[in-house]
Amino acid sequence: MCKPVEIRGKKDHIPAIMTESGIPFRKMNGLGNDFVVLDLRSRALNLSESLVRAIANRETGIGCDQFITIENARHGGDVFMGIRNPDGGIVEACGNATRCIGQILLDETGKDAVTIETLGGNLVARASADALITVDMGEPRLKWNEIPLSEEFQDTRAIELEVGPLGAPLMHSPAVVNVGNPHAIFFVDDIETIDLGRIGPMLENHPLFPERANISIAQVIDRAHVRIKVWERGAGLTLACGTAACATVVAAVRRRKTDRNITVSLPGGDLQMEWRESDNHIYMTGPSTLDYEGDLDQRFLNGELA
């Protein structure tokens, strides 16, 4: 069960964005990767990019890494999950948000499993031990044109891309994987020596990635444990990224660096990951948290704060 916790951030700012006349929202997070969640199954709302940016703004809005909508199912699932980055752009998949929406639906329906439709495909969420949520994230896409890349690479376990001085790069030969969205994973000896906040924007927008890419640096601790940091396209550095953890276990197994069942440690905490050989699906297990509930200020909806 999700349990409300103390509101984080500027408490004196919260009443300005919570009114009795607006549309209800939930503020949730998965390992600190935080979301504003709107349930639009019984109402319509024009979500312009400016409105999403206003709500996602941490100084003048509610603030979030991603803006999530719960919508009526389109293809036989339980719901459709819409995902927007803070810049208003549409995103295909978000693993941490899927756990949060899965928690809502499992509590709401009493089902053993729920199917969440996304632009990146259908995802199945189940309750796990210790109040955690397990999500079947489906099969990874590994061909160069599925990721996609702008150039053909026969082997996507390590593509030709270097960062740093010629002949002595800081990082090189990333693995690339699509798990609903494109990821590039650089394996390094020590993730603390890499300034991902500086390098991330350049790599996100590298010409090799026509749809941009999420950039991860990964440090293998042992065959059952990897540490990562993530630069998310359209969002920047984040405390956690579920799809990056999915991409990391696939990349690590393909490079023979780890086993198929591992712990991926992010700045916000740990995810248990498995790339199951029997069905080729990736399974992610971790927490979801309800921070608080409120109502969108009517001024957002009127465009006055956009």
Which of 253, 252, 246, 277 lies closest to 140 in space, CA to CA?
A: 246
Looking at this protein, which amino acid is placed at residue 236? G
Nearest partner of 156 among 138, 143, 169, 137, judged by Cα? 143
Collapsed DSSP state (helix, strand, coil) of residue 189 = coil
Burial class (CB in 10 A: 0-12, 13-18, 19+), 6: exposed
Active-site pick, 64, 100, 241, 246:
241
Among this protein's residues, is 241 annotated catalytic?
Answer: yes
Cβ proximity of 283 and 95 under 8 Å: no
Closest by CA position to 242, among listed 91, 24, 57, 51: 91
Select which of 64, 94, 100, 246 is catalytic.
94
Give me 199's structure tokens.
Answer: 């390098």
- Distance, CA of 276 to CA of 261 (rounded, Å): 8
For 56, the enclosing helix (H) or strand (E) is helix 49-56
Residue 53 φ then ψ, to 5°:
-60, -40
For residue 30, the tally of other CB atoms under 10 A from its CB is 29
Beta strands in 190-296 (DSSP E): 214-222, 225-232, 236-238, 261-266, 269-275, 282-286, 289-295
Q: Is residue 177 within a helix (H) or strand (E), and if so which, with residue range?
A: strand 175-178
Is 94 annotated as catalytic?
yes
- Cβ(216)–Cβ(229) under 8 Å? yes
Beta bridge partners of 7: none
Active site positions, annotated? 94, 241
